C-alpha cells in the first residue's frame, strides 16, 4: 500500500522551516531588544533601560497620534463589523441565485485591489467632497478605514454563519418567532464569537494602515503609523523602536484573541 504524501516527512523540511521562521522573526527580535537600549544608537548596545519608552510617553505628538489611531480604528472597526454582519447574513441566509458570486467579489474587492489604487481613488473622491462641504475632519479617515476593513470583518463572520447548524433557527421559526426575535435570541448568540473575531481583525488592520491613511489624511491628522514613518525619514532613534514594540504587543494580543475566538469548536 502506497504511503500518503506528507510534506513534513520530506528531507530537510524541519531545517528549512526553522530557517524561514528565524529569518522572519530575527529583525522583529532585534527591534524589540534595541527598544530597551540606553544608547541613542539603534545599532550599538549601551545597556538596559526604559528610557525610550518614557521618552515616547512624554512626547505629546506620540500621545496625540496614538489616541487618534485608537479613535479611528475603534470607530472604523465597529462600523465595518456591523456592515459586514448584515452583508454576511444577506449572502448566507438565502438561496443561491445568479449574481451572488458577484456580490461576494464586490464585498471582498478591497482585498483584491492594491491599497495604493484604493488610496488614490479615495483621495480624488474625498477631495471633491472637501471642496463642496469645507469639512476636513477625521470623518474621511474613518470612512476610508471602514471601507477597507469590511472584508476583513466579513470573512470570519461569514465562515461562522456557514458552519452554524440551522436546526435551532428553524425551530425558532416553527415556534412562531419573528425573524428579528429568532436572530436576537438564536442566531446572534451563536454568531457572537465570529463577530468579535471580525471586530478584532478589522481593528488591527485599521490600526496599522499606512498607505490609505497617507492619501486621505489632512494636515495635523497623523496616526501613529504615519507619525513613525515621518520620524524614520528624519532619523531613526530607539524611540521608534519603543513605539513599535508597544504596537507589536498590542497587535499580538488582539490577534491571539482573534485566533482563540475564531478557531473551530466541536
Give counts: helices (H), strands (E), the chain.
13, 0
Per-residue pLDDT tens over the stretch 183-209: 888 888 888 888 888 898 899 889 888
pLDDT at 5 over 90: no
pLDDT at 3 over 70: no
Please give the domain boundaries of the chain with CATH numbers for all domains: 61-262 (1.10.3720.10)
Cβ contact 247:224 at 8 Å: yes
For the chain, give the percent of residues with pLDDT over 90.
Answer: 15
Q: How confident is the model at residue 84 (pLDDT cuts 50, 70, 90)?
A: very high
Q: Give the chain's radius of gyration (CA, Å).
A: 23
pLDDT at 265 over 60: no
pLDDT at 266 over 50: no
Give the integer Cα–Cα distance in Å for 153 and 251: 16
Q: How many CB atoms lie within 10 A of CB 84?
A: 27
Give the integer Cα–Cα distance in Å for 26 and 20: 10
Give the pLDDT of residue 263.
64
pLDDT at 38 over 50: yes
Per-residue pLDDT tens over the stretch 211-263: 999 999 888 888 888 888 887 777 777 888 888 888 888 878 877 876 776 66
Give the integer Cα–Cα distance in Å for 262 and 248: 21
pLDDT at 143 over 90: yes
- Higher-confidence residue of 249 and 10: namely 249
Which of 83-87, 141-145, 261-265 has the weakest average pLDDT? Answer: 261-265
- Higher-confidence residue of 77 and 170: namely 77
Enumerate the β-bridge partners of residue 37: 48
pLDDT at 172 over 50: yes
Mean pLDDT of 9-26: 85
Enumerate the β-bridge partners of residue 48: 37
CB-facing half-sphere around the CA of 225: CA atoms within 13 A: 19
Amino acid at each position: 500500500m502506497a504511503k500518503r504524501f506528507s510534506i513534513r516527512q520530506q528531507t530537510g523540511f524541519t531545517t528549512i522551516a526553522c530557517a524561514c521562521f528565524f529569518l522572519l522573526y530575527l529583525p522583529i527580535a532585534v527591534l524589540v531588544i534595541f527598544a530597551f537600549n540606553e544608547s541613542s544608537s539603534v545599532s550599538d548596545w549601551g545597556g538596559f533601560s526604559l528610557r525610550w519608552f518614557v521618552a515616547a510617553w512624554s512626547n505629546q505628538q506620540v500621545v496625540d497620534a496614538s489616541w487618534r489611531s485608537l479613535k479611528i480604528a475603534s470607530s472604523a472597526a465597529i462600523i465595518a463589523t456591523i456592515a459586514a454582519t448584515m452583508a454576511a447574513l444577506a449572502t448566507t441566509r438565502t438561496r443561491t441565485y445568479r449574481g451572488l458570486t458577484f456580490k461576494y467579489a464586490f464585498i471582498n474587492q478591497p482585498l483584491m485591489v492594491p491599497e495604493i489604487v484604493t488610496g488614490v481613488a479615495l483621495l480624488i473622491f474625498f477631495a471633491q467632497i472637501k471642496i463642496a462641504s469645507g469639512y476636513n475632519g477625521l470623518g474621511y479617515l474613518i470612512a476610508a478605514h471602514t471601507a477597507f476593513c469590511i472584508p476583513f470583518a466579513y470573512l470570519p463572520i461569514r465562515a461562522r454563519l456557514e458552519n452554524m447548524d440551522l436546526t435551532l433557527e428553524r425551530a425558532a421559526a416553527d415556534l412562531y418567532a419573528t425573524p428579528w426575535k429568532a436572530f436576537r435570541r438564536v442566531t446572534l448568540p451563536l454568531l457572537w464569537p465570529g463577530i468579535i473575531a471580525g471586530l478584532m481583525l478589522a481593528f488591527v488592520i485599521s490600526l496599522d494602515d499606512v498607505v490609505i491613511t497617507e492619501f486621505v489624511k489632512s494636515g495635523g491628522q497623523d496616526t501613529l503609523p504615519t507619525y513613525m514613518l515621518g520620524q524614520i525619514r528624519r532619523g531613526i532613534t530607539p524611540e521608534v523602536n519603543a513605539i513599535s514594540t508597544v504596537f507589536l504587543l498590542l497587535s499580538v494580543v488582539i490577534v491571539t484573541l482573534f485566533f482563540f475566538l475564531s478557531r473551530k469548536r466541536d
